[in-house]
């Protein structure tokens, strides 16, 4: 069964290699959980070392910044994640993307349920806010 729901997504800025991290944080829109997850990612990455974070912020600001969004997604509760292959994902995503008016889509596993989300953040995402080095430093004070 396909159910349209709102989710909170966390995205990093483009990293050195041009890739971006995109993570589904929770069902519904919850900025507090998004900020907590971004802080956790920074803690994992920098182990609380503010000097390293300051250097990263100076030379590659996007490496210490996260944006969180509200996004519409399609939950597929009748799909077994273990059966997913590249071809099967394409088979599932293309018709949903066309139906929703998205240029492309991808599947993310969230709490044992597959969720189809748009690949292009500009298509259905509602910007929520930022969390990064400055916020982290303020939290530490």
Is the confidence at residue 35, as pLDDT, over 90? yes
Tell me what the pLDDT averaged over the chain comes to. Answer: 84
Rounded Cα gap, residues 44 and 30, in angstroms:
21
Burial track 102-122 (b if 16+ CB lie within 10 A, e otherwise): beebebeebeebbbbbbeebe
- pLDDT recorded at residue 71: 86
Residue 13 has pLDDT above 90, yes or no: no
Which is more confidently placed, 126 or 66? Answer: 66
Alpha helix (H) residue ranges in the chain: 31-46, 50-59, 86-100, 121-124, 133-140
C-alpha 5/C-alpha 17 separation (Å) is 32
- How far are the Cα atoms of 15, 16, 62, 136 from residue 49, in angstroms, in the given order? 19, 20, 17, 11
Flag whether pLDDT at 64 surpasses 80.
Answer: yes
Confidence bin at 38 (pLDDT 50/70/90): very high
Q: With pLDDT > 90 as the criterion, what percentage of the chain qualifies?
A: 16
Give mean pLDDT, residues 93-102: 89
- Are 118 and 102 spatial neighbours (Cβ–Cβ below 8 Å)? yes
Q: 141 in helix, strand or coil? A: coil
Domain that holds residue 75: 2-140
Number of domains in the chain: 1
Q: What is the pTM of this model?
A: 0.81
Question: What's the rounded mean pLDDT across residues 126-136?
Answer: 83
Alpha-carbon 137 to chain mean position:
23
């Amino acid at each position: 069964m396909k159910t349209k729901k709102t989710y909170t997504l966390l995205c990093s800025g483009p990293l050195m290699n041009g890739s971006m991290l995109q993570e589904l944080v929770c069902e519904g829109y919850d900025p507090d959980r998004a900020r907590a997850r971004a802080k956790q990612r920074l803690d994992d990455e920098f182990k609380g070392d503010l000097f390293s974070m300051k250097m990263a912020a100076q030379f590659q600001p996007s490496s210490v910044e996260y944006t969180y969004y509200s996004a519409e997604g399609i939950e597929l509760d009748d799909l077994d994640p273990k059966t997913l292959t590249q071809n099967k994902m394409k088979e599932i995503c293309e018709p949903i993307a066309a139906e929703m008016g998205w240029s492309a889509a991808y599947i993310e596993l969230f709490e044992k349920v597959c969720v189809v989300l748009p690949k292009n953040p500009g298509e259905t995402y509602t910007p929520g806010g930022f969390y990064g080095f400055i916020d982290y430093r303020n939290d530490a004070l």
